[in-house]
Structure 1
Amino acid sequence: MIYDAIIIGGGACGLMCAAQAGLIGKKTLVLERNDKIGAKILISGGGRCNYTNIGNSPANFISENPDFLHGIFKQWTVDDTITFFEQYGIVGQEKTLGQLFPETNKAKDIVAVFSKILYETGQDIALNTLVKSVEKNDNGFVVTVENAKGESRYHAHKVVISSGGLPVQKLGASDFGIRLAKQFGLNVVGTAPALVPLTITGKDADWYSSLAGNSVFSKVSVAGMSFEENILFTHWGLSGPAILQISSYWIPGQEITIDLLPNFNLDNLIKQERQYGGKRLVSQLLNDYFSRKLVDALGKFLALDTKIASLSKADAKLIVDTIHRFKVKPAGDKGYDKAEVMRGGVSTEELHPKTLMSKKVEGLYFGGETVDITGWLGGYNFQWAWASGYAIAQDI
């Protein structure tokens, strides 16, 4: 059999591509190295799957050319995602910051939608299958694979690379898509872990470790970007939504600024305390806003047992600067196994902006995480996966 397309990778992009191709009468083969499709979907959002975001726009993505997204997102919008899943019984429930989850809170329900469509439209799936090579000839492509039965070859007019990036190796993550792009002479933007916890080492490591488990709503900033969400102290540094978000913009060596009290002006709070006599201690004021454990830890930097009325201008400024402009210089990040996604990938300059087909190799497509498109935390990467899968399907 010569397939209309062989889709390498049975994740979000690959499944949407196969489903949409099937719905318009195409015949595809999905090659997946895991023992089930949608492995990464199943663990996303703690098994609940934040499958899109109401506020999705190109501004929520990192890329050397974020404007590239306009052409894809015009073809497949957030409303299209919502309608698509609703047709198969998935009702969305909006949560914090526009995040949409299935009302059932079950990621497996999302995967079940694709299983149903692929079965009903007669698409083929090969699980536990490792792709060894992709070669192009005059008739299309030959894909050589290896599984328990040995080595096999499949033929197709077109090939879709939706094999994801490097995060979460236990789910079969690899740099296959990047290596294949280079094999065919495509430019690749340098890759790195993104949406990843940050590590602290050296003299401050014990201070962070002592606060492990403490979560604080904060504003985290680096290089002109900032996010307001929770940060989480850990035994090895910092995590939590705000840290994961900023990690996609952080470059090793940079200092991060954390406003630990973004919704209040501590300078004004100190002035108000003084108007009432300033009899309370610094620790008592801070205890109004932070856990006792965090306040005690801040004693490393601040004179907690000083009465507010007794604070000098320099002391008050130190308190304000420490709380509103807490400086952190991470040693590194927790790497691909703890990262949500990969930054970088196949350059958008190499792809047609409507179809995602390679400009250099006729019939070869790249979608999802393999491309230099990295979304924020909160359903954006899924929206890109669905949209890129749909766009490719229309052309294969």
Structure 2
Amino acid sequence: MADKTVTTLILGAGAAGMMCAAHAGPDVLVVDHAKAAGEKIRISGGGRCNFTNLHTAPENFLSENPHFCKSALARYTQWDFLDLVARHDIAWHEKTLGQLFCDRSAKDIIAMLRAEMAGAALWLETSVDDVAHDGAGFNVRMTRAGHAVTVKAQNLVVATGGKSIPKMGATGLAYQIAAQFGHRITETRPALVPLTFDEAQKTVFAALAGTALESRIHCNSAAFDEAMLFTHRGLSGPAVLQISSYWREGDSLSITLCPGVDLFTHLRARRAEAGAKSLASILAELLPKRVAQHLVSDWAVTGNIGDQPDAKLRDLADRLAGWVLTPTSSEGYRTAEVTLGGVATEEISSKTMQSQRQPGLFIIGEALDVTGWLGGYNFQWAWSSAVAAGHAIAANA
């Protein structure tokens, strides 16, 4: 197979890679190991792709440098992406907390991106074997259809993502390439991931598997108000996935049950209204039955509410507002939606995503040390960082 020369080579046909190809000007080649472009997009959001969030702002992202994401997010916003969606007549709807989803299918977003990058070549089922720079340009050795081929490029865009969901082919390739050119890699961890219990805890909480409840979960100065779900392995649900980005092994979670309810005032009111009811019955009014039964047993809650002085009701309210659970691990990259950490941003231009160590090298999307909250924020970072790089490349074409 003959070698090929292009102006811009993009590694990764995911959200960031395809979006960059749409903006990077002429003579672009996008390569990916998968059989189809946008595979992570296809499975995202239950197959409907939570493609952005109305409330996207820098404070929704974690990074060693919290300022790094500001420029790209300001120059290509959620409203810009919505304009693109509208131009392609993709119907969408808002769920909770500003999360936007396709009405029909995530495949609509993939088709939109494929149409936008129509001027670029796309090689699928192509693996990257080696990346080098000879002083004049990049030389990337690949294997395509069983044959070795070298692609020469003036610009190299690394859009291969992080380590999450290895069964879809995720690897640390982006980190290897960045490190090869002298970039530091921050600690990487699974993020937006269910948390797990040890075997003893699994037994204790087995009866709660499948139970969901509204909560506010606190850990390491962060707190999220959303649903949590008990699973056969531990804890999941939006609130847990959110807090997993802040949690570390050994940390406890402080869980406020019935967030938004003044529990002490509520319990006193119920004492006046239904003094003959047991405390167990009152808890079952506030919480899913199985959770109430667990707490009644674990906390040895007995007696009628009418017999409880304020001090005991205050103690019960405090327990409900600060239920402490301590997961032992997470489900890891196998089910993590994203990778926390990545290529350190200290030597990456926040305006162009270009390396300050190697001209022509651009790193975008999840590969960088910029990690969004659950709810469409990571897709918006993919769009914004990709456009920043694409515009910089096109301007120098």
Alignment TM class, shorter chain as reference: over 0.9
Task: Give yes or no for contact 1:302–1:318 (8 Å, CA) kept in 2.
Answer: no
Inter-partner Cα distance in structure 2 for 1:393 and 1:376: 24
Quick one: distance in 2 between partners of 1:245 and 1:287? 27
Structure 2 residue 109 is matched with structure 1 residue 110 = yes
Number of equivalences: 390
Relative to structure 1, the CA distance from residue 277 to residue 340 in structure 2 (aligned partners, 3 Å threshold; closer, same or farther) is closer
Q: Hey, what does 1:256 align to over in structure 2?
A: 253
Question: Which secondary structure does the structure 1 equivalent of 2:90 belong to?
Answer: coil
Q: Is the 8 A contact 2:188 2:342 kept in 1?
A: yes
Deviations 1:221-261 (A, max 9, x none): 01111000000000111000000000001111111100111
- CA deviation digits over 1:327-379, x for unaligned, max 9? 01110100001100000001111101110100000100000000000000000
Is the 8 Å Cα contact of residues 178 and 370 (structure 1) preserved in structure 2? yes
Is residue 2:87 matched to residue 1:87?
A: yes
Q: CA deviation at 1:205?
A: 2.1
Is structure 2 residue 321 aligned with structure 1 residue 324? yes
- 1:362 maps to 359
Contact persistence 1:207–1:297 (CA under 8 A)? no
The SS at the match of 1:145 is strand
- Report if the CA contact (8 A) 2:352-2:388 is conserved: yes
Q: Which residue of 1 aligns with 2:23?
A: 20
Are the structure 2 counterparts of residues 315 and 205 from structure 1 closer, same or farther at C-alpha, using a change threshold of 3 Å?
farther
- After the TM superposition, which residues 1-396 of structure 1 pair with which residues of structure 2 at under 5 Å, given as runs? 1-21=4-24, 25-104=25-104, 106-119=105-118, 121=119, 123-276=120-273, 278-311=275-308, 315-396=312-393
- Alpha-carbon distance, 1:37 to partner: 0.4
Indicate conservation of the 8 Å contact 1:13/1:389, yes or no.
Answer: yes
Distance 1:49 1:202 in 2: 34
- Secondary structure, counterpart of 1:228 in structure 2: strand
Corresponding letter in the other structure for 1:341: V
- 8 Å contact from structure 1 (residues 43, 107) kept in 2: yes
- Following TM superposition, by how much is the alpha carbon of 1:313 offset from its aligned partner in structure 2, in angstroms? 5.5
Whichever residue aligns with residue 20 of structure 2, its letter is C
Query: d(CA) in 1 for partners of 2:132 and 2:253?
Result: 45
Equivalent position amino acid for 1:83 in 2 = D
Counterpart residue identity of residue 19, structure 1: A
RMSD: 1.4
Alpha-carbon offset, residue 210 of structure 1: 1.6
Q: 1:180 to 1:321 in 2, by over 3 A?
A: same
The range that moved more, 332-341 or 144-153, is: 144-153
Runs of 5+ in structure 2 lacking a partner?
none
SS of 1:378 mapped into structure 2:
coil
Decide whether the 8 Å contact of 1:302 with 1:319 is kept in 2. Answer: no
Report SS of the residue matched to 1:66: coil
Residue 274 of structure 1 deviates from its aligned partner by: 2.5
In structure 1, stretches of 5+ residues that fail to align are none
Q: Secondary structure at the match of 1:220?
A: strand
Paired amino acid for 1:115: R
Q: In the alignment, residue 275 of structure 2 is paired with which amino acid? A: G
Provide Cα deviations, 1:136-155, integer angstroms capped at 9, x if missing partner.
11321111111333211111
What is the SS of the residue equivalent to 1:295? helix
Contact preservation (8 Å) 2:195, 2:327: yes
2:127 maps to amino acid? L
**TM-score normalised to the size of structure 2?**
0.95
Residues 1-57 of structure 1 deviation map (CA, whole Å, 9 limit, x = unaligned):
421210001110001001122xxx422111101000000000001101000000000
Query: Which is worse superposed, 290-299 or 6-15?
Result: 290-299
| Alpha-carbon distance in 2 for matches of 1:191, 1:356 | 20
Q: Partners in 2 of 1:214 and 1:391 — Cα distance?
A: 43
Q: CA offsets per residue over residues 120-146 of structure 1, 9 Å max, x none?
A: x2x111111111111111321111111
Deviation of 1:299 (Å): 2.3
Kept in 1, the 8 Å contact 2:48–2:103? The answer is no
Give the C-alpha shift of residue 318 in structure 1: 4.1
CA contact (8 A) 2:160 2:367 kept: yes
Q: SS of the residue aligned with 1:346?
A: coil
Structure 1 residue identity aligned to 2:72: I
Give the TM-score normalised by structure 1.
0.95
For 1:315 and 1:302, the matched residues in 2 are separated by 12
